[in-house]
Amino acid sequence: MFHNTIALIVEDSATIRSYVSSVLKTHLNCHQIISMGNGLDACRMVEGGTQRIDWIFSDWEMPGVRGDEFLKRVRQNPATAKTPFIMITGRNDKESLMAAIEAGVTDYLVKPFTATALVQKIRRVLSLQERRSMERYLSLSNVKVEIRFSTGGAYQSSLVNLSMGGFLTLAPVFRAGSGCIYDIANVAFHFNHSVFSVKAELMRVENCKSQPESDLLILAAFKFMDLDETAMENLSGLIKQLKALSDEETSVAFAE
């Protein structure tokens, strides 16, 4: 899930830093982790702008700069203004929670906590991001998606929706040993007699109950990986075409 994600852990307790890091690696496949023991160093790195940060996990009570002040400075920085920020703290009073919310915290986890609780928080944030933050376009055209997993297996599917971050496709049930969560695939989009390919990671598989042959079909969600300039241009162009088609369909519907 976090294959290409860079996570920053800011916590003065080495034990908790190690625990959070272990959870990210074991449960979310995150191996690009930066650990810091105080808020001042974290502020300097974030504000320096030389290091990309995708997620932040921070304690509240820390030497140098406290977690609430660090959060405010993260939100004031254009590069990290929307970066998911999970506050991990021993404070469980309403006033602290409200202060964190006002400062722009994404979610709040009270110590002590389990690996399951942390993973659930992260999945909740991801779900909210998918619903609220990522602009997706319903595919009203016949966009075909060819999926070839690095573990073996090739599948022809139909695009359901698309964003610059990933896509959802209607596909035949993946064979055993092929198409497991976090598997990497080469994906080819076929649209209007043109084809372009990208690399993507399988994030989620759901049963498709809305189709007549639902026992033979699944909904598969993918996250794009390592997009170069050409791939981003191709995706942007496809999204624009799908949006134009969507606008045309809406205009026709209102006209009727």
The tens digit of pLDDT for each residue in 49-102 reads: 888 999 999 999 998 899 999 999 999 999 999 899 999 998 888 888 888 888
The CATH number of whichever domain residue 211 belongs to comes to 2.40.10.220
Residues 183-210: pLDDT tens digits? 999 999 998 888 999 999 998 888 765 5
Query: Given 106, 133, 160, which residue is the final one in a domain?
Result: 133
Domain carrying residue 150: 137-255
Same domain, 143 and 221: yes
Same domain, 202 and 219: yes
Q: List the strands of the sheet with 85-89, edge to edge.
A: 32-36, 6-10, 55-59, 85-89, 107-110
Same domain, 144 and 174: yes
Predicted TM-score (pTM) above 0.85: no
Radius of gyration for the alpha carbons in the chain, expressed in angstroms and rounded: 21
Beta carbons of 41 and 71 less than 8 angstroms apart: no
How much is the average pLDDT of 33-62?
Answer: 93
Whole-number pLDDT of residue 69: 94
Beta carbons of 224 and 162 less than 8 angstroms apart: no
Q: Which of 176, 134, 183, 156 is nearest to 1 (CA)?
A: 183
Query: Given 133, 149, 180, which residue is the final one in a domain?
Result: 133
Query: Given 75, 99, 133, which residue is the final one in a domain?
Result: 133
Whole-number pLDDT of residue 124: 85
Please indicate whether residue 52 or residue 1 has the higher confidence score (pLDDT): 52
Number of domains in the chain: 2
Label residue 178 by pLDDT band (50, 70, 90): confident
Q: Cα–Cα distance between 200 and 218 in angstroms, integer?
A: 17
Please indicate whether residue 57 or residue 126 has the higher confidence score (pLDDT): 57
Phi, psi of 246 (to 5 degrees): -65, -40
- Over 50: is that where the pLDDT of 250 sits? no
Same domain, 118 and 207: no
169-to-14, 69, 190, 202, 214 alpha-carbon distances in Å:
42, 42, 13, 11, 14
- Over 50: is that where the pLDDT of 112 sits? yes
Same domain, 20 and 101: yes
pLDDT above 70 coverage of the chain, percent: 87
Give the count of alpha carbons within 13 A of 233, CB side only: 3
Whole-number pLDDT of residue 255: 38
Whole-number pLDDT of residue 123: 87
Residues 52-64: pLDDT tens digits? 999 999 999 998 8
Same domain, 42 and 81: yes
